[in-house]
A and B are shown apart, each in its own frame.
Chain A
């Protein structure tokens, strides 16, 4: 009971927060919190198997999947707060409040005066055993269909995410290396400069220096540049370093 009354408001706040935060990653984290809270609720309601499955499948697999895709799409992508469809927010909030009110009142009307039976009898042999008896007994047909669904979904995802390289791009190595040397300028022959070249560090986020000391944008991945994680190069320039003294004899 205490757990419920402690966790339920937090869950609600997390859900509302999911709506309000700007960055998508924050929404994902809040949703993960909600799911874990729900797992706790499941366990409290004598459904331990389901609670564990919730954490393993939902929070573990599904939310991670969400995070991966977020990374792909752009981790910094955020919605602007300005709504471009007029009146949508107001109507949506009002409708949802009305929906919640209707549901609540219906639930109250349906459940007043009825006690809950409790699952001691059903869980007599243990929750997992009872569930297994049901899934592989009465609901085996649904189980089979859902397995088919899973396989279909996996196949579908592979098909959808598959990018077919166009035939023209399938060039042999020979063709590519010839193109490299016969490009617009000889500069393409050497390829892009690596990061940190001509500088003191070769970390991924340290740009290479051009002969005049300016950083080269070509040497840093775009992702890092967009994220603003590129290191400042002045600190790695050769000037300002303390000179090595009296060891010039070994040139």
Chain B
């Protein structure tokens, strides 16, 4: 089925972004409102498409729209085309919905900023690129959107590029993303070489007949791309530094949407991973490592945004873990992604609200007892908190619980290890999120002298409230009656696999709730009473290591940066001595030979006569040799 509306989803934000950039200062007065309206209109298009899709029978739910014929070189033909199916529409609603809320929030949050219009232009550009990413019908179209969101992330993280650290953070994010993008390019090349096509439909047809090595290679490359974009181990070091951007950016890009692009990629490529069990195992391992990694870092961070970033890293680890389970897990991964979008964005906006009220202070050791002064923020943040730690019946409970259950259902020793790791992650998540809540909103006042916390304006708390409602309700809505699983099944679970049960679901639920209780209690014991305004220094080595992000930056520096610097200086020396030396050598040779040849010009006629004779001798010798 084709539709002609899909292009508006992308074209509207893109047009708005270009308009705001081109008009420059002239659009300062109305740019932000215009951008927000455009984002809302994209949301309405998305909703209308969703409603239309729901009314259609299952086989006809996917719609496509071909824009133009893009590449046609020999056998390689790619069209610029869009595909809207059950998976894409979920993302479209998330992106445009949460995106519009964050646009509204930013109107107030960035009201004091001179470059607000540019901010909105970049936000719209991001929306357009992210929509292109989820709507592309082939890996190549996805890649365009992929690159676009990378660019938008760079522009937005480094928005306040007056500060060199922020610009460096933007570069760091971009470069680490690039490593992942390399994986995506290789995957596209493998796809073309193996299947002759790069569209999802084209590859899916031929997936079952391809060799497992090709599929494993492609799967691993796709995993590399996802790891880069979603800040998973080993390419996770950029996410903490990305908090240098304005808080709406952190909420939209680094919580709800861009970092989830990796999960989308793996889910979209389900036919590849289902045919390559080794790649799936790699996915699972990466997911487990990352969820624990992020959780451990989150325990030691005093910067509220960095703590939330570590939490994002850990939650995406859960999603990646779920995608590694095959058809049993894709739906839960996307479900967790959607619920995470609500509560994490809501918490980030809440953190932004707290910062707004505390003169942009980010250190939680300088907060305390803010619940009285910022009640709406505290309530919305608290609802998100309850969702993330998995308290029933909030959203996170449903999605995370199902992931842990699917983990145990893998069966055998593997299942126990993975499930146990997921449970451990849940304990730690509960612990550090409780810590954040206690340090920020409760306890004693540890403020700076000039702080007077106040509630944020309407335009800021209204989106937070909407997201809080989502944090509460979305889990139940998505899960009840297996609604979401059924909705997504035509995309990810075509062959109707039998799902094996290892532990009864109720046991898993009890274990999950127990994990939450344990985590919360430990945090309450530690952080309930009076806290000091400074971080304690005599801590054990694990805490020290966790404060240094588990040495991720040091490892990257050691493995890549220093050898890279040495290579660069070596190349520089080579360029100077060898290449420049060769050029200088040519010049020196010319000079030297000229000096030598000048000696021939003695002025004596007899020398010249001798040279004539030598020339004649040379000719004779040549004739002699030639006629041999």
Contact = CB atoms under 8 A, between A and B. Distances in A.
Please tell me whether chains A and B touch each other in their complex, using a CB distance cut-off of 8 A: yes
Interface in A67-120: 85, 88, 91-92, 95-96, 98-99, 102-103, 105-106, 109
B525 interface: no
Contact of B621 (A88, A91, A96, A102): A102
Interface in A109-136: 109
| Interface of chain A, main secondary structure | helix
A98 B613 CA distance: 10
B624 A91 contact: no
Contacts, number: 31
Contact of A102 (B606, B614, B624): B624
B1 interface: no
A189 to B, nearest CB: 49
B627 interface: yes
Interface residues of A, number: 13
A92 B609 CA distance: 10
B29 to A, nearest CB: 93
B607 A88 contact: yes
A99 B627 contact: no
B616 interface: yes
A92 B620 contact: no
Nearest to B622: A102
Residue from the set A91, A99, A102 with the largest chain B CB neighbour count within 10 Å: A102
A114 to B, nearest CB: 15
Contacts of B620: 99, 102-103, 106
Contact-residue bracket for chain B: 10 to 19
Contact of B613 (A96, A103, A105, A109): A96
Contact of B602 (A85, A102, A106): A85
B173 to A, nearest CB: 75
Given A95-B613, A102-B617, A88 B624 contact: no
Contacts of B624: 102, 105-106
Nearest to A105: B624
A102 B622 CA distance: 10
B604 interface: yes
A98 B621 CA distance: 9
A88 B610 contact: yes
Contacts of B621: 102
A95 B610 contact: yes
A99 B612 CA distance: 12
Contacts of B616: 99
Given A103-B620, A106-B624, A85 B614 contact: no
B623 interface: yes
Given A98-B617, A102-B620, 11 more contacts: A85-B602, A85-B607, A88-B607, A88-B610, A95-B614, A96-B613, A99-B620, A102-B621, A106-B620, A106-B624, A109-B627
Interface of B: 602, 604, 606-607, 610, 613-614, 616-617, 620-621, 623-624, 627
14 contacts: A85-B604, A85-B606, A88-B606, A92-B610, A95-B613, A95-B617, A98-B617, A99-B613, A99-B617, A102-B621, A103-B620, A105-B624, A106-B627, A109-B627
